[in-house]
Structure formats: structure tokens, C-alpha cells
Structure 1
Amino acid sequence: MAAFKEETIISTLLGSCVAVAIHDPTTHIGGLNHYLLPDGLPNESLNTRYGSFAIPALIDECVRLGANRSRLQAKIYGGANVIAVSSLGDGIGKRNIEVAETILKQMNIPIIEKNVAGEHARTIKLNTANFDILHNSSGGGAGETSKQPVDVSGFKPLAIAKNVKVLVVDDSATVRTLFTNIFTKSGLEVVGAAADAYQARELILNKKPDVMTLDIEMPKMSGVMFLEKIMKHHPIPVVMVSSLASTGDAAMKALELGAVEFVHKPSQFDPAVLKDLASMLVDKVRAAASVNVLKKLKEAPPVSDIRPTLSSSPVVKRAAELKVVVVGGNAGSADSLERFIKGLAADTPPVVVSCSTVANFVTAYIGKLKTASKVTPVVAKDGEFLRMGHVYFIPAEHHGRIAPGPQGPVLKLAKGAPVASQLPSSNVLFQSAAASFNKGVFAVLLGGFGSDGVDGLTDVQKLGGATVVQHPDEAQFPYGPQKAIELGVADEVLKADALSGYLMQYRNQNLY
């Protein structure tokens, strides 16, 4: 939502969301909002993602700037039936349009123009001085239905690799057969299976796979050594796998060399375990296969942060003591997480991290952090009281939940199936923190493939906590952050190096 006295161009991108433009033709004061839903639940904190709040707030802001309420005019845009924008339900665009019409009628503000509904996303640009609006649709001709998912976060469209060709490299014939069956049933093409690095090299040259799964422990040449050679001479996206718990240093080294992700192979082939493995493995391989596509999209010149970060003060929603900081992310987020943690002050409120990638080699990762951090990183334990100045990492194969205790937040660990294809899941952590501490939660979602953490951010925002996402142009996998921005649940969009400073500013404003 924005309104100005001076002539200003305000732009937004709309899918099922609606934008209401307001203007006073005498003072030439005008403004524009953009909301996702018609209204919220009674216990939710009011914010501009809801039309019932965003429209009166925009009108009040124009009046505060000097507009005459009796002269105000309105225009309405958006509310399309856009395919695959979100899972919020059918007819949301229509309901967003209806709430605008109802509120403006109640406030006796005439609607002088409407360009709503349809099947396509659209970009609009408002000139606040003369109330002119430039309008462009992202769809085809009249009557055409969009078949592609539409990104309305304002960043580049997300590309997902299709027709993925996979090479499986593992010294176990059982695992090679298992992975081949999993990939084939999921629509991926397995172009070969190799028992060692030398067989794999020939297959890479002859079959040209899009992505490779690579075992860490293999005869003749270790997976990490082979990865290093491959990245120098024939770089392709690689997902590392291992059934050994002692491979933490090797897994971390593999990510540093350029591997995209790390997956634990099950030591037992239980049907329930295999079902969970299949879901996670396919998602991670598809993510890896899209890395090259994403790099091409990121070849544009770097952009600045959406808002000033360290030099400006964050908006404090409610005066409340900050009880706990929760951080989520998965593929490609290990480096950003390290930069965030190394920037934290010794008196930071307790931080709990749910990152499925780091969880697989958490002991080695913590060892790396300890040399340059003011906070104390530790592997989380069930029932542990969370202390200031500590960062708790949820270990592999566990979900972490935060509960209130007699001395403050307590962490509960439990084994379970993946949620949103992640174990541990950011959704599980975020939602438990929001339910337990409401306005006392600060949630950070780093990059990752898939939507894990987005539902959790939604709950944190609903209950008055702060929500921050990593800047999509910086994240290797911007899917989670972009989805959060699209749904209006990201209060701030920051690069990794700005996160710790912003957190401390937020904490200090809540204290004083």
C-alpha cells in the first residue's frame, strides 16, 4: 500500500489479488494497494494482505496526506482466475473484487473504472498525479486460458526442469535398482546406473545426464574425490547420498565443491521409509536439475534489496518481548545460514534452525561455525530449555516443535514422516512457535526448493510475529521465499548479510 502528494508511479503485478487505486482530482493525491484475500479470521492481526483492512487504510492515508474524502474516486483491477497461483481455493479473485465493491459503496466512493476477472495475470502502473493507469496482461488473446503457473511475487518466473535425465552412481546393486525404480515411476528418465566413478565417467560423457546421484562411499574412488574431478571437467548438478552417519565432513565438503543437495539412504528398506525417501529424493533431483536454468535467470545485473535494510528502522507491529527466533530453509541455504549466524550478537534471543540439508551433517557444520561466531551453536536435544545466545539445530530424521515451559521456550523433538517433503520441516517448527508465543516470534525463511516454511510464515504473521524471507535474487533456490512474497506473508525481504542486523534492530525496538 502506498500513497503520495507528489507525482509518483506505483506499479504492481496482480494474479487473483486485487488492487484498488484512490485519487483526489483536486489535490492530485493518489495511492494504490494490493491485497491477497478479502478478510482474515477474528484472531488474526490486521494487515494489508486483507482487503477489509487494506482499502480503508489506503483511504485514510490519502486523507492524512490532504485529500478530501468527499472528492475521492476509485479504480479496481485484478481478481483473475489464475491457474496454480496458490492453494487458497477457487473463486478467490471474485471474492476479492466483491469486497472492494462493497467497501467502496459503503464509503460512498464512486468506482469510475474496473478492469477485473479474466484468466491472466496483469501489471498495472498508476500515476498518482493524473490517475492514469497503464495496464498490461501477461496472457494471450481474448478467451485464452493460461496453462502456465504465474508468479506474482514481482521476481523472475520460476523455472522447473522437465524431461529430467538421471544417472545413478552407487556401489550397491540394491540401491541402484531402488533409485532407478523410484525415478522411473516418478516420470524421470534414468539414462544409466554405475557402480563406481570410472563407469560413471563414461556414462556422463556418452549419456549426458541432467543430474547425477552420487554415493559418498565407493570403491576405487570416493564420491567426494570424483565430484571434485567432475566439477572441474564436466560440471553437472549432483545430489550426494550416503547411509553412513560419519560422513558429515565429507557431505559438507561436497556442498562446498558444488553439490546441490545431500540425502541419507535408509539403512533398512522398510516400505514406509522407502515411501518417504522416494518423495524427498525425487524433489531434490528435480531441484538439482533446475539449477542451470536458475543460473541463466540470475545472469541479469544484481539488484538492490527491496527496502533499505540496516539504515532504516523496521516496522514494529506490536510491542512484545521477542521470545524465540526460528529459521528455515533447505537446498542451497547452508552458506546463507552460516552468514546469518556469524553475524548474530552474543545476546541474541534463542535461535532454532530447521534445515533439512544441514541436518544431515550438523555436527561438522557446527564445528565450522564455532570458530567465528559470537553465539553458541549446538545440536538440539529433546526437552531442552532454550537459552539466549544459543543456536539450536534440529538433527536429521526429527521434527522440532517449540512449546512454552516454566522458564521460557522448550524444544521438543520427535521422529516422523516428512512434511512438505522435508525432514525436519520448517512448517512444523514455525507453526509450533507461532502457536506458543504469538507476537514473540521472529521467523526467517531462507532459500529452498518447494514450499516448506510458507504455511509456517503464514501462521506467524497471523498471530502477530515478524516474518522475513531471503531475497529471491540471492537464493540458489528462490521457490520458498517467492511463494511467501506472492502470498503476502513476508514482512521484509533481505539478503543474508542484512538478516542479523535487522533482527537486532527489531529486538531492540521491542525491548525499548
Structure 2
Amino acid sequence: MKTLYVLPGRLAVSKDPVELTTILGSCVSVVLYDPLAKCAGLNHYLLTKLPQGEVASGRYGECAIPMLIQELERLGASRRNLKAKVYGGGAVLTDVQIGIGVGKKNIDFAFETLANLGIPVVEQNVGGELSRKITINVSDFNVIHRFINQDENSQVDISGRIKLEPIRKVKVGIVDDSATVRSLFQNVFSKHGLDVVGVAADPYQAREMLVKHKPDVITLDIEMPKMNGVVFLEKLMKHMPLPVVMVSSLGSQGEAALRALELGAIEFIHKPSQYDPAVIKQLGETLVEKVKAAASQKVLANRSQKKSDTKVEYAVSGLGIQGLKLIAVGGNTGSQDGLKAFLQSLNSDTPPVIVANSTLSSFIEAYIQKIKKNVSVRLSVVKENTHLTSGNVYFAPADNHIVVETQSNNFYAKLRQLPPVNGQKPSSDVLMASIASCERGGALGVLMSGFGRDGVDGLAAMRASGNVTLVEDPDLCAFPYGPQQAINLGIVDYVKSAGDFANTVMEIRNKRVA
């Protein structure tokens, strides 16, 4: 029998013989079924009351329960025949840190609401201190309930996936021909709690350092004497592969940086052009975030080995946009290939797409040149006050945030010189938050592979203002941190592979809006 996973903040109904399943921490699921109409469904809400100013959402019980009833009535159910089962609300602090005591509030809200609606509760399993998995068989309305024990709790989160493990203290090696840069990076890393185990002035010294100290990750300069960094990287990946962050001056050629990513480098960063305290402070936040991202590759490889062979299939969201006006795409580490697949599948009449990607921004012109022959849309870099029009994809330039504003019912992109946000510049959060403030219901927010929280809060803002959200499937991401956190927050409408994004865009544009 087909099994569909219901995401946090979503709901699903069916008359077909399927199983609907979800994982609950402090969240609550209300299962409703009509034995005469032979249909059933469940929701998964995180909190009770819709905040003022937000658009109605299944994240909140006061919306999720009426929405579930409405969807069942569309399938022929009668409210007077509905019966309810209630699950979840454990005293569990999940990844989303919803808060202590929220589980009980969610439980009380479910029972109070159902009583007011005159819907009898025929089964319940609520409270406790463990997460639980529930599955309803729509054919017979039977619900299988299973607690997730402490060992499993440490492995699974409410996205239905293996929990992302925290990164332990990272051992770093520095390879750079500049003594000033080596000293600067060493101070930055040490200040932020990273363990610098070795430094090297050229690839030959680097080889000895790697063998002796075995760092988790290295920073590698592109321009060095004796052997340039890209050539050394190619040799390294053949004989002693490990996570690498490439480093370059602002004047370096983008082709070299792009080639480094193709060879297996995880991230890329510019050396500072000046060494005043403000610049160093910004560099520290960004550099440390990128090094941690690279070091997490080993953790993710371990996670990959634990994955089940069974692919998670999600219950389809009912949301769409009539007259989609704008698409915002965020992401950073590991997103370049998925982004290319997405852009190559877009139609020439696609609404304007604007991309904030800190990994690619440093060599975005080279990236554009590499992929432009195989796309139907026009590609360009945002300049100040760029008018956003259909059939175009706009990229944020290096070391600039971008925001979107409206003028005379048209969208314009503008550059902003602000500090990094979540260690990223450009930041997906900055882009998406600006769209949330100027467009309600006509935009699509997309979050791709990335390390850290950047893009998660921006996606939440877009969802709260009535826009639709899409994330790259965490099981298919090189770095699933951002997408998985967004799923856990209950702010995601669609979970797809990057190769399916373009089809999903068309589906969203064509779907009837409830």
C-alpha cells in the first residue's frame, strides 16, 4: 500500500487505499474520518493560535482543524458523521525549539476545539516524554501508533529523517603562501573555537602537514608558488581526499574557482583586500561558517550510510499561485549543480527568478558563462535598481545583499551593503524577507542545499505572508541543513529534487487556489 508522509504544518486527506503517516514531538495530529463517506485525513500542527498578521496556515491548530474538516467535506464527508482520534503533544524539545509546555497546550486545544464542533474523540494517545510515529490506513481507519525510544529519538527528527548531528570541534589546516593570511586565519579560527593543527606555505609543505596532523578540513589558496591550488586540489582528491575551502584574492579568475568546485572543493572565500578590524570581523563570521560547512561533509557521509532504502514520498500540498509573479532562490554550500539543473529546465516565459547564493556569487560571471548555452532564460547579475522581468534569472553579485522592492506595481532589485547574515553575503534571508514585505500571495520561495540557517527565516517570512515555499529534498541535498530545518518549522509546501523544480513551478502556476 502506498504511504504518504505528512509534513509538519501540513495536512492530507484521501478516499483511496493509502497510508498517511507523520512523526510528532510536541506537535499534535488530529485524525478525522467519516465511516459512511469512507474518507479520512490527518493534520500536523505545531502551535495553537495564528499570530496576528500571518496568513492562515496548517502550522496552527486554529487553522489546521477547520482546514482538515473542509478538505474532508470536499471528498463527501459530513461533519455530523466525523469521528476523531488525537495523538502527540509530548514534552519533547525538538530541533525547532518550540518550547516547554507547548505539547500540553496543543493537546488541550485539540480537545476543546473538537468538543465545540461536536466531533467525538474515539481514541487518543497524547502526552508523555517521547516522540511518536502514527500511521492511518484510510481503508479501515485504523491508526498504528508507535513511540520512538530514546535511541531513535537521537536519530530521527520530525521531518521523518535522520537528525542532523552537531559538529564536534573541527581540526583545520591552513595552506597559503602569505604569512599574513596564515596568521590572520589562525587567529580567526582559534577565536571561534576551531583547532588549527597545522599551517603550510605551499603544497609540498601541505602534504607533510596533512600526513602528520590529519585535519578535518583545510583552507587552500588558489595562487601559490611551485604549484597552484587547483592543481594541488586535483592531486589531493585522487590520493588523500578531504573537505577543502578554496581561498583567493578578489582579482582571481572565476574559472579557477569554478574548476575547484568541480574537482570537489566544498566552499570558496575571498581574502580580505584590507585588514581593518571591521573587515576582519565580517571575514571571521563568514570564514568560520564555510569551514564548518566543509567539515560537516564527514558527518553527512555518515548520515548517508544510515539512510533507509525506502524513499520518503510526501502528501501533496494543495497550494498554488494564480499569476505567479516572482521566484526567489536561496542556498549556498553544495547547491551549484542542483541550481544548474533547475535553470536548464525553466521555460522562457518563467516569471523573474532572483538568486542569492553566497558560494557562487564570488565567481558568478564564470558560472553564468558555463551554463548559459543550455538554458532558455536570460542570465545576468543584479545591478542597482534592476527591473525584474519574465524570462530572466538574476544573480546577486559578490559581497552584496539584494532586496526586492515594488515601484508602480513592478519589482526592482537593489543592492545593500550590510554585514553578513548567518555568515552569508549575499544572504537568502535578506532577499526573502524583502519579498515577504512587498508581496503577499504571488511569490515562490525556494531553498536549496546549504549549511546553517541562512534562508530558513526568510522562507518562514514568505510563508507567513501567504507565499508558497519549496525546498530541495534533504535526502538529495549535498548539505541538507537549511531545507531540513525549514521542514521541521512547518513552513514548507513542497519537497522536491532540484531536477523536479521546474515542473513544480508549472504545477504551482496552474493549480487552482483554494
User: Could you tell me which amino acid in structure 1 is paired with residue 204 of structure 2?
Assistant: Y
Q: Deviations over 1:221-280 (max 9, x none)?
A: 111111010000000010111223323111111000000011122122222222222222
Q: Which amino acid aligns with 1:294?
A: L
Over aligned residue pairs, what C-alpha RMSD do you find?
A: 2.6
In the superposition, the TM-score normalised over structure 2's length comes to 0.90
Deviation at 1:130, TM superposition (A): 4.8
Q: Which residue of structure 1 aligns with residue 60 of structure 2?
A: 50
The Cα of 1:473 is off from its aligned counterpart by 1.2
Of 89-98 and 337-346, more deviation after overlay is shown by 89-98
Instruction: Name the residue aligned to 1:223.
Output: 229
For 1:92, the equivalent position in structure 2 comes to: 102
Inter-CA distance 400–110: structure 2 relative to 1 (3 Å threshold): same
**Residue type of the partner of 2:272?**
P
Alignment partner, residue 384 of structure 1: 386
Structure 2: distance between partners of 1:131 and 1:507: 34
Residues 1:487 and 2:475 aligned together: no
Secondary structure of the corresponding residue to residue 130 of structure 2? coil
Aligned to 1:298, what secondary structure does the other structure show?
Answer: helix
The CA distance in 2 between the partners of 1:149 and 1:59, in whole Å, is 33
Query: What residue is the counterpart of 2:32 in the other structure?
Result: 22
Structure 2 counterpart of 1:31: 41
Distance 1:244 1:133 in 2: 59
Match of 1:456 in 2: 458
Aligned to 1:366: 368
1:375 matched residue in structure 2: 377
Match of 1:235 in 2: 241
1:159 corresponds in structure 2 to 165
1:332 alignment counterpart:
334
CA distance in 1, matches of 2:64, 2:147: 24
In structure 2, distance between residues paired with 1:409 and 1:422: 24
In structure 1, runs of 5+ residues without a counterpart are none
Matched, 1:408 2:406: no
User: In the aligned structure 2, how far is the partner of 1:108 from the partner of 1:90?
Assistant: 30
1:213 aligns with: 219
> Is residue 426 from structure 1 mapped to residue 421 from structure 2 by the alignment?
no
Asked if structure 2 preserves the Cα contact closer than 8 Å seen for 1:252 and 1:361, the reply is yes
SS at structure 2 position matched to 1:157: coil
For the 8 Å contact 1:83–1:149, the answer to whether it is kept is no
Q: Is the 8 A contact 1:22 1:74 kept in 2?
A: yes
Q: Deviations over 1:415-460 (max 9, x none)?
A: 1111122111111111111211221211111110112111111121
SS at match of 2:197: strand
Whether 1:279 aligns to 2:285 is yes
Cα separation, 2, equivalents of 1:108 and 1:396: 58
Percent sequence identity is 48
| Alignment partner, residue 81 of structure 1 | 91
Q: Could you tell me whether the CA contact under 8 Å between 2:320 and 2:509 is conserved in 1?
A: no
Structure 1 residues 407 and 446, CA gap change in structure 2 (3 angstroms): same
Match of 2:185 in 1: 179
Aligned: 1:168 with 2:170: no
Q: 1:104 aligns with which of 114, 122, 125?
A: 114
**Alpha carbons of structure 1 residues 66 and 502: separation in structure 2 relative to 1, 3 Å:** closer
Q: What one-letter code is carried by the residue in structure 1 that aligns with 2:364?
A: V
* 1:306 pairs with 2:285: no
Q: Deviations over 1:315-340 (max 9, x none)?
A: 45453x32211110000001111111
Q: Which amino acid aligns with 2:61?
A: G
CA 1:315–1:105 in 2, change beyond 3 Å: closer, same or farther?
Answer: closer
Judge conservation of contact 1:20–1:76 (CA < 8 Å) in 2. yes
Unaligned runs of 5+ in 2: 1-10
Q: 1:212 to 1:318 in 2, by over 3 A?
A: closer
Cα contact 1:169–1:213 (8 A) shared by 2? yes
- TM superposition shift of 1:406: 2.7
Aligned to 1:292: 298
C-alpha contact (below 8 Å) 1:322/1:510 kept by paired residues:
no
User: Hey, what does 2:195 align to over in structure 1?
Assistant: 189
SS of match in other structure, 1:190: strand
* Counterpart Cα distance in 1 of 2:390 and 2:33: 49
**1:468 alignment counterpart:** 470
Partners of 2:308 and 2:127 in 1: CA distance: 34
* Residue 201 (structure 1) aligned to one of 184, 207, 212: 207
Q: Distance in 2 between matches of 1:123 and 1:407?
A: 46
Contact persistence 2:320–2:510 (CA under 8 A): no
Match of 1:507 in 2: 509
TM superposition shift of 1:156: 2.4
Q: Match of 1:161, as an amino acid?
A: I
Letter in 1 for 2:268: F
* 1:253-308: CA deviation from partner (whole Å, max 9, x where unpaired): 10000000111221222222222222222222222112123124334576657359
Q: Does 1:138 align with 2:154?
A: no
Native 8 Å contact 1:15 1:150 kept in 2: no
SS at structure 1 position matched to 2:160: coil
